[in-house]
Amino acid sequence: MTALQQKFDEGRRRLLMDRSVPGRVGATLPPLDVPEQDLPPDSLLRTELALPEVSEGELVRYFSQISQSNFSIDHNFYPLGSCTMKYNPKINDEIASIPGLAAIHPLQPESTVQGALKLMYELQGYLAAITGMPGVSLAPMAGADGELAGMLMTRAYHLERGEPNRKNVLIPDSAHGTNPASAAMAGFDVVTLPSDANGDTDLEALRASVSEDLAGLMITLPSTLGLFDANIVEVCRIVRDAGGIVYGDGANLNALLGRVKLGDLAFDVIHSNLHKTFTQPHGGGGPGAGPVISGPRLRQYMPSPVVTRETDADGTETYSLSSPEKTIGRMGAFHGNFGALVRAYAYISTLGNAGIAQISDDAVVNANYILSGLKGYYDLPYDRTCMHEVVFSARNLKRAYGVSALDVAKRLIDYGIHPPTMYFPLIVEEALMIEPTETESKETLDYFIEVMRTIAQEAAENPELLHDAPHDTLNSRVDEARAARQPDLRWRPAP
């Protein structure tokens, strides 16, 4: 790097306070047109308050630069497995910001928000039709919140039947990490089920784990291995025959839409991540919506509220918020994350039946395209057709050249691609979990495949290049755990 390039590089790293020059201003205040007021007493005033003194132009340039340092789906390809970072049509945001939807208050009388309630009612109907399960509560605010609701419903069901002994929830080792956490939060004991050599639920282990203490099974379908469990019908039968509830983590519904209805597979209760499957980016624990959807056995326990409709003799429809008969109560204040519900409603309405089925077709084709493009370059622990995501392993690179999944992921950033999910699912060593999503073009997938093949070659020829990646970002390797746990958010003047 030349001295001038270094100067440029240092310049773009400078924080706003470091750009400050005494006396420089970025705003002109209008003449005072209100009575002048006395300042509070000195004891309440700071003698020094360091504020950045910059021109308006410098301010705009600073914020524009940092906005572009942030990786986003609107900038680049984002194949983060299990997170479904797909392109979200802007029209959905536009609809969610219509004042009649965005500016209403949850405590307004129901008669003044009939349109919003109708939207929620119809969304409940869409989700019931898509999943083949009749009961829908839009209340949970995220996928994990939907899981907790489903587990609390399971508990209520067993308690009401006088079976408090049913404490065990079976969870395959290929489940999403939130599943055991939700079961434990609802007071259950988690029993892990191993996967068999094909990545499906091990039926022998399942049979051996079933007892009169069985509360239910929580299974992610397709699993976090990106696989459709070939044993699923038998798995559901064994659990139900033993008096257990079958909970389906339906967060990966974008692999099944229009093709498989979880209700037809005898699931009792599931949740759907609206923010993964039906538009809206997924990030940082929200904002999202994780409606819980149930079959007949658990319907009466659903969280409040649900929206119901009554039709008068003259045909006038009235929508109301109501509580299922034996509801587990509320999952949070008010009625769910309404903005996320509007976006999902807009998305589903725009696509219609044919468009909805196209989502899963494209998501699955795209993932399998990547599978065949990278097979032979990276280890493929489960060599079979995948669903919406594919899990590779970098263990071949690790053994041969000391290059880890983390190194591969970091190097992708140099090529303008967000890293895939790494080291998850836990049962795959050096896992690279890639979810291209349905919205990516063949050109983007081809570019990704070419980059991944190039990185495998770089690993053989110049492993150091990968250990130090990324090379072109404001920061290279950071201590990610420390950055999250002890963030340093305060500017301090240089000593």
Site string for ligand PLP, 78-97 (x = CB under 6 A): ----xx--------------
Closer by beta carbon to ligand PLP, 252 or else 360: 252
User: Helix, strand or coil for residue 32?
Assistant: coil
Which of the stretches 46-54, 85-93, 246-254, 385-393 binds ligand PLP when contact is defined by CB under 6 A? 246-254
As a whole number of Å, the CA-based R_g of the chain is 26
The token pair that represents 454 in the structure block: 């190039």
Compute the least distance from the CB of residue 83 to ligand PLP, in Å. Answer: 5
Compute the least distance from the CB of residue 252 to ligand PLP, in Å. Answer: 5
Site string for ligand PLP, 435-474 (x = CB under 6 A): ----------------------------------------
Specify burial of residue 269 (Cβ count, 10 A radius: 0-12, 13-18, 19+): buried
Enumerate residues 6+ apart whose C-beta is below 8 A from 74: 87
The token pair that represents 423 in the structure block: 């080291």
Q: How far apart are CA 266 and CA 250, in angstroms?
A: 13
- Residue 420 near ligand PLP by CB under 6 A: no
Q: Strand 292-294 to strand 269-271: parallel, antiparallel, or no bridges (unpaired)?
A: antiparallel
Applying the rule CB under 6 A, the residues between 202 and 221 that interact with ligand PLP are 220
Enumerate residues 6+ apart whose C-beta is below 8 A from 22: 53
The token pair that represents 269 in the structure block: 């209760």
Among 124, 154, 168, 178, binds ligand PLP (CB under 6 A): 178
Are the CB atoms for 435 and 182 separated by under 8 Å? no
Amino acid at 346: A
DSSP for 184-243, written as a single string: HHTTPEEEEEPB-TTSSB-HHHHHHH--TTEEEEEEESS-TTS---TTHHHHHHHHHHTT
Among 176, 299, 398, 411, binds ligand PLP (CB under 6 A): 176
Which of the stretches 199-207, 248-256, 342-350, 403-411 binds ligand PLP when contact is defined by CB under 6 A? 248-256
Which of the stretches 139-147, 294-302, 353-361, 481-489 binds ligand PLP when contact is defined by CB under 6 A? 139-147
Which of the stretches 112-120, 138-146, 427-435, 445-453 binds ligand PLP when contact is defined by CB under 6 A? 138-146
Among 249, 268, 407, 440, binds ligand PLP (CB under 6 A): 249
Number of residues that bind ligand PLP (CB under 6 A): 14
Q: How far apart are CA 86 and CA 360, in angstroms?
A: 13
Compute the least distance from the CB of residue 253 to ligand PLP, in Å. Answer: 10
Closer by beta carbon to ligand PLP, 145 or else 458: 145
- Residue 272 near ligand PLP by CB under 6 A: no
Among 127, 133, 144, 193, binds ligand PLP (CB under 6 A): 144
Closer by beta carbon to ligand PLP, 135 or else 288: 288
- Residue 252 near ligand PLP by CB under 6 A: yes
Compute the least distance from the CB of residue 140 to ligand PLP, in Å. Answer: 9
211: left (phi over 0), alpha (psi -120 to 50) or beta: beta
Compute the least distance from the CB of residue 146 to ligand PLP, in Å. Answer: 8
For residues 46-76, one letter each, b for 16 or more C-beta atoms within 10 angstroms of the residue's C-beta and e for the rest, the string is: eeeeeebbbeeebeeebeeeeeeeebebeee
Are the CB atoms for 84 and 276 separated by under 8 Å? yes
Closer by beta carbon to ligand PLP, 226 or else 305: 226
Chain positions contacting ligand PLP, by CB under 6 A: 82-83, 142-144, 176, 178, 220, 249, 251-252, 273, 288, 290
